[in-house]
Amino acid sequence: MSTHAPESTKPWTKPRGTELTTKVIARPKRDFEVQAYLPAVAKGLAQTMSTFFRNTKEMVLGQKSDPVLEGFSDGVTTLQYPEEKRPYPERFRGLHRLTIRDDGSPRCVACLCCSTACPAQCIHIEAGEYDEESGRHGYERYPVRFVIDELRCIFCGFCVEACPCDAIRMDTGMHAVPYDSREQFIYERDLLMAMTGRDGSRKTANPRHEPGDPSHPGLDREHAH
């Protein structure tokens, strides 16, 4: 089988032995219009003015193209940041939040899966036992402290993957806000529980089966089947 390229495709290097082909580009003429300088100045001024006035008009009158939706259109595409924001993609990993149950307690069972999975070691959890009277006592624990250092976090999302209870999510759609001291980036449990997802809810769509619910399988430490 021949290794030569088919004859229909032109070689992109000059084949050996062929003549060099050159394309002669005419020098720009130094005719009177160019040498007089003024016609060129007038042309340039017209170009500058039309661009400037069109863009100014569209910005001042609020007709400026939407920088995201009409990014390919002519005109100013500057985002006026606090008023206009570039939306993040649907699966954007933003700041963390801790989801809550129907009674307002954290879904988190302090299993330490997230802090174990975290490559940046930015999660610190202190686990606590529920009261004796609580149906959850002996079945699961809760986080007394749940701390995320948002400066240390690399937003990889491993904590969300690791969580068995859908208790930690990164669907707030928010990026870290510029604070003026490091302490402010240390997010405590109550702050994390106060944050909502993009849908405005502090819960998740996944159901949680509490002890005593009809849907609960009835398993706990004392009663295994």
Partner 1 sequence: MSLVEVVLALVKILVIIGFCLNMSALTTWADRRQSAMLQHRVGPNRAVINLPSFVIQGALATPGLLLGAVAALGIGGAASPAAAMERMALGLQLTVFVVWFHLVVLSWRVHVKGPLNAFEAAIGSTLPRSYFFAGLFAHGAGIAVTSLLSQRLAAGLLPAASVYTGARVVGALLGALMAAIGIYAAMRIPKGTFGLRLAGTLHALADSVKMIFKEDFVPKNADKLLHSLAPMIAIFPALVVLAVVPFGSVLCFEDANKNGLFEFSDLAHVAPVMTRDAICAGHAVPLQIADLNVGILYLFAISSTGVIGAAIAGWSSDNKFSLLGGLRAASQMVSYEVAMGLSIMGLLVITSTLRLQPLVDWQNQNAWGVFVQPLGFLMFLAATAAETKRVPFDQPEGESEIVAGYFVEYSGFKWGMFMAGEYVEVITSSAILITLFFGGYSLPFLYADGVLVQIGDTVLFQYKMNHVAVTVLQSLTFFGKTILMAFFQVFFRWTLPRFRYDQLMKFGWTKLLPLAIANLVITGVGVVAIDQAGPGVQQGFALLGQLSQAVVALLLLAAPIALVWLLLRPVERTRFLHSTSTRFAAAAGGVKASPMQA
User: Which residues lie near partner 1 (CB under 8 A)?
Assistant: 38, 41, 44-45, 47-49, 51-53, 55-63, 65-80, 82-90, 92, 94, 173-175, 198, 200
Encoded tokens for 85:
């924001």
DSSP β-bridge partners for residue 125: 146
Question: Is 75 or 138 the residue whose CB approaches partner 1 more closely?
Answer: 75
Work out how close the CB of 219 gets to partner 1 at its nearest, in angstroms, rounded to a whole number.
39
Distance CA 225, CA 220 (A): 9
Question: Is 82 or 164 the residue whose CB approaches partner 1 more closely?
Answer: 82
Distance CA 98, CA 108 (A): 7
Query: Residues 99-125, buried b or exposed e (16+ Cβ, 10 A)?
Result: bbbeeeebbbbbbebbbebbeeebbeb
DSSP tag of 183: G
- Alpha carbon 124 to chain centroid distance? 24
Distance CA 174, CA 196 (A): 10
Dihedral sign computed on CA atoms, order 143, 204, 118, 153: negative
Cα distances from 145 to residues 106, 127, 189, in angstroms, run 11, 7, 6
Question: Is 17 or 89 the residue whose CB approaches partner 1 more closely?
Answer: 89
Work out how close the CB of 118 gets to partner 1 at its nearest, in angstroms, rounded to a whole number.
23
Work out how close the CB of 82 gets to partner 1 at its nearest, in angstroms, rounded to a whole number.
8
Question: Is 48 or 184 the residue whose CB approaches partner 1 more closely?
Answer: 48
DSSP tag of 214: T
Question: Is 67 or 138 the residue whose CB approaches partner 1 more closely?
Answer: 67
Question: Is 57 or 209 the residue whose CB approaches partner 1 more closely?
Answer: 57
- Alpha carbon 7 to chain centroid distance? 49
